[in-house]
Amino acid sequence: MSRTMTHAWPTGAAIVGTVALAALLLAGCAPLEPGGSPDDPVSSDDSPGSTPSPIEAPAEPVTADLTIVVDATGEGATQTFTLTCSPDGGDHPDPAAACAALAQAGVEAFAPTPRGVACTEQWGGPQVATVQGTVDGEQISARFDRTDGCQISRWDRLAPVFGPDAGLV
């Protein structure tokens, strides 16, 4: 008795489905835009071979009167300073850089991450900062930390506001 073995080749639909699944999986690993990331849509990519970003025009000056409290270690030892913009001043260690960061980021940088936004699960350090006061006439009361990708992006947008000794590790 002779047995004939047959090999079942995938059908056209199975091949198309497999290719589509592979493409979707690979798309999740591909870079978004030059410099883009799911957590920081305003980041830039300075890696070799990347497409240079257009130079951003200087932001309009911002008016601000803020009190910033920074815990660089997450252990409760805080540093407090004031910042005013237009004119730049206060006892902030670098008011010009802080006011430039505020002008570039805008008042929106103080908004919390919206509910339902997926953030990468990464830890950026123990730093915590609070900012209270006014920016362009709007009342500000915001907390910043580095507990996930979204929070790290929020921190990074305003890093000069937290001072040069914010303790980034």
Q: Which two tokens stand for residue 79?
A: 């540093």
Q: Give me the pLDDT at residue 56, please.
A: 54
Q: Give me the pLDDT at residue 135, please.
A: 97
Number of domains in the chain: 1
| Confidence tier at 36 by pLDDT (50, 70, 90) | very low
In a domain, 89, yes or no: yes
Q: Is the pLDDT of residue 100 over 50?
A: yes
Q: Give me the pLDDT at residue 63, please.
A: 95
| CATH at residue 145 | 3.30.350
Neighbouring residues of 107: CB distance < 8 A, sequence distance ≥ 6: 135, 136, 138, 140
Task: Yes or no: say if 102 and 62 are a contact pair by the CB < 8 Å rule.
Answer: yes
Distance CA 129, CA 134 (A): 16
Give residue 22's Cα distance to chain centre: 29
Helix ranges, 66-148 (H): 95-105
Q: What is the four-CA torsion angle of 104, 109, 110, 114, rounded to 10 degrees? A: 170
In a domain, 98, yes or no: yes
Q: For 4-22, how does the pLDDT look when each residue is reduced to its tens digit (9 = 90+)?
A: 545 455 555 555 555 544 4
> Residue 140 sits in which domain range?
64-162
In a domain, 102, yes or no: yes
Residues paired with residue 141 on neighbouring β-strands, in sequence order: 132
Percentage with pLDDT > 70 across the chain: 63
Q: Is the pLDDT of residue 34 over 50?
A: no
Tell me the pTM: 0.65
Between residues 89 and 45, which one has the greater pLDDT?
Answer: 89
Q: Give me the pLDDT at residue 167, please.
A: 60
Q: For 107-166, how does the pLDDT look when each residue is reduced to its tens digit (9 = 90+)?
A: 999 999 999 999 999 999 999 999 999 999 999 999 999 999 999 999 999 999 999 877
| Confidence tier at 74 by pLDDT (50, 70, 90) | confident
